[in-house]
Homo-oligomer: A and B are copies of this chain.
Amino acid sequence: MPTLSNRGNAMPESPIRKLVPYAEAAKKKGRTVFHLNIGQPDIETPQVALDAVKNIDFNVIEYSHSAGFESYRKGLAEYYNKINLNVSYEDILITTGGSEALLFAFNSCLNEGDEVIIPEPFYANYNGFATTAGVNVVPVTSSIDSGFALPPIADFEKLITPKTKAILICNPGNPTGYLYSKEELETLKEIVLKHNLYLIADEVYREFCYDGKQHFSVFNLSGIEENAIVIDSVSKRYSMCGARIGAFVSKNKKLVATALKYAQARLSPPTLGQIAGEAALKTPQSYFDNVVDEYVERRNIVIEGLNAIEGVKCPNPGGAFYAVAELPVENAEEFCQWLLEEFEYNNKTVMLAPAAGFYATKGLGKKEVRIAYVLNKDALKEAIDCLNQALNVYEGSLIRKENIKSI
């Protein structure tokens, strides 16, 4: 057969999805699997978005403009302006999910072999997009001990080379849930201006900020209009991940014109998803208030539950609906597989995402897992209990022997 490409071979498997076959096998055995491994929320999509899809009254599902429906772009600009991001609809390209927006950013800003600095742990698929675009990810490590705060400026500066073109952040963060402060954003501004870099901010979890904290966007920073790019998506905001609608947003007109060429090549973003996305702009504030309340309660169950387990450490995240926890095991991936293959408690088990795949530095995160708190509270309580039971009996558990002694 003809050979596969080197980059195809180098493409990482999704650490979120690669345990899927084990989960499927567990379910075939009749086991209930609590899915804490993937950010597919159970929250309902706003009715106004579902209704817009149900009420389509055209006879042809046509292409839209490559940049997306103008009416949607204008509506989205209004949404941004309500939260003081000062965006014109011409700054916006509607994309096929945040995924495509990030690919447009990588392709438009970086040449093959250029470098993007990303605080790790980071959303694992950034590796996939970087590999796709031939871009080298340079991780700057944040630590569970500081709750995954932005690493100090000196850590960034020692990584900057002539090939560094951009810094990419996710705020609030997947997988850590960390919400960057205004001061941390100002630090990033200083670095990108000094070194003439792009600052790409994945802000798809913007609405999910807790404990009275406010989201601070890269568009709230003045003086980096040419540098800042926002990656956005309706997936989490309106719990409509399957719509595959995102946005590439920048006030740098030449950059938007360049990204538009990538958009033209693929003709248009999904029409039906755009209809849902545009209608979702009418979602009432009460929807978000309820959702945020729900996530805070869920977060509290998960974080308190985890930290109550001996040997488990989990910082309290300020946003999104993820947390990274350190478990008392040497190899979390083996543990996650064992949970699905071998373990059951009342015929139930838990699926977690091993965190090593969220680090670019080899060897980091081996004891850590990402937990998405996207199940209802009762399920989360059961899942945490189940995890506790599992750590009690797992042979590789670093606390197990003590537990046995204490029995």
User: Which residues in A have some Cβ–Cβ distance to B below 8 Å?
Assistant: 1-9, 11-14, 17, 38, 40-45, 49-50, 53-56, 59-64, 66, 96-97, 99-100, 107-112, 114, 125, 128-129, 132, 134, 165-166, 196-198, 226-227, 239-244, 252, 254-255, 258-259, 261-262, 264-273, 276
Query: Considering only CB atoms, which chain B residue lies closest to A38 in the complex?
Result: B63
A7 touches B62 (CB 8 A): no
B244 touches A269 (CB 8 A): yes
Chain B neighbourhood of A242, CB < 8 A? 61-64, 268, 270-272
Q: If the complex has contacts A242-B268, A261-B11, are A227 and B60 also in contact, measured as CB distance less than 8 A?
A: no
Question: Which of B2, B11, B196, B272 is within 8 Å of A273, CB to CB?
Answer: B272
A45 touches B63 (CB 8 A): no
Q: If the complex has contacts A53-B272, A55-B54, A267-B97, are A2 and B262 also in contact, measured as CB distance less than 8 A?
A: no
A265 touches B54 (CB 8 A): no
Q: If the complex has contacts A50-B59, A270-B272, are A129 and B265 also in contact, measured as CB distance less than 8 A?
A: yes
How many Å from the CB of A218 to the closest CB on chain B? 14
How many Å from the CB of A110 to the closest CB on chain B? 5
Given contacts A3-B165, A60-B240, 8 further A-B contacts (CB under 8 A): A2-B227, A4-B108, A5-B109, A5-B258, A54-B54, A99-B265, A242-B270, A243-B271
How many Å from the CB of A347 to the closest CB on chain B? 25
How many Å from the CB of A21 to the closest CB on chain B? 12
How many Å from the CB of A290 to the closest CB on chain B? 14
Chain A contact residues, majority secondary structure: loop
Chain B neighbourhood of A11, CB < 8 A? 107, 258, 261-262, 265
Report Cα–Cα, A3/B242, bound state, in Å. Answer: 34
Of the candidates A14, A196, A252, A276, the one having the most CB atoms from chain B within 10 angstroms of its own CB is A14
Chain B neighbourhood of A63, CB < 8 A? 38, 40, 241-242
How many Å from the CB of A111 to the closest CB on chain B? 5
Query: Considering only CB atoms, which chain B residue lies closest to A196 in the complex?
Result: B2
Of the candidates A9, A55, A125, A272, the one having the most CB atoms from chain B within 10 angstroms of its own CB is A272
Report Cα–Cα, A242/B269, bound state, in Å. Answer: 7
A268 touches B255 (CB 8 A): no
Chain B neighbourhood of A9, CB < 8 A? 258
Q: If the complex has contacts A2-B227, A40-B63, A61-B276, are A128 and B265 also in contact, measured as CB distance less than 8 A?
A: yes
Report Cα–Cα, A1/B59, bound state, in Å. Answer: 45
Chain B neighbourhood of A53, CB < 8 A? 53-54, 56, 61, 272
Query: Considering only CB atoms, which chain B residue lies closest to A59 in the complex?
Result: B44
Chain B neighbourhood of A196, CB < 8 A? 1-2
Q: List 20 A-B contacts (CB under 8 A).
A: A2-B196, A2-B226, A2-B227, A4-B108, A4-B109, A4-B255, A4-B258, A5-B109, A5-B258, A44-B60, A49-B61, A53-B272, A96-B244, A96-B266, A112-B134, A125-B264, A125-B267, A128-B261, A128-B264, A242-B272
Query: Considering only CB atoms, which chain B residue lies closest to A106 in the complex?
Result: B5
Question: Which of B62, B267, B276 is within 8 Å of A272, CB to CB?
Answer: B276
Chain B neighbourhood of A129, CB < 8 A? 265
Chain B neighbourhood of A54, CB < 8 A? 53-56
Query: Considering only CB atoms, which chain B residue lies closest to A198 in the complex?
Result: B2
How many Å from the CB of A242 to the closest CB on chain B? 3
Report Cα–Cα, A226/B2, bound state, in Å. Answer: 7
A62 touches B5 (CB 8 A): no
Report Cα–Cα, A252/B1, bound state, in Å. Answer: 8
Chain B neighbourhood of A276, CB < 8 A? 61, 272
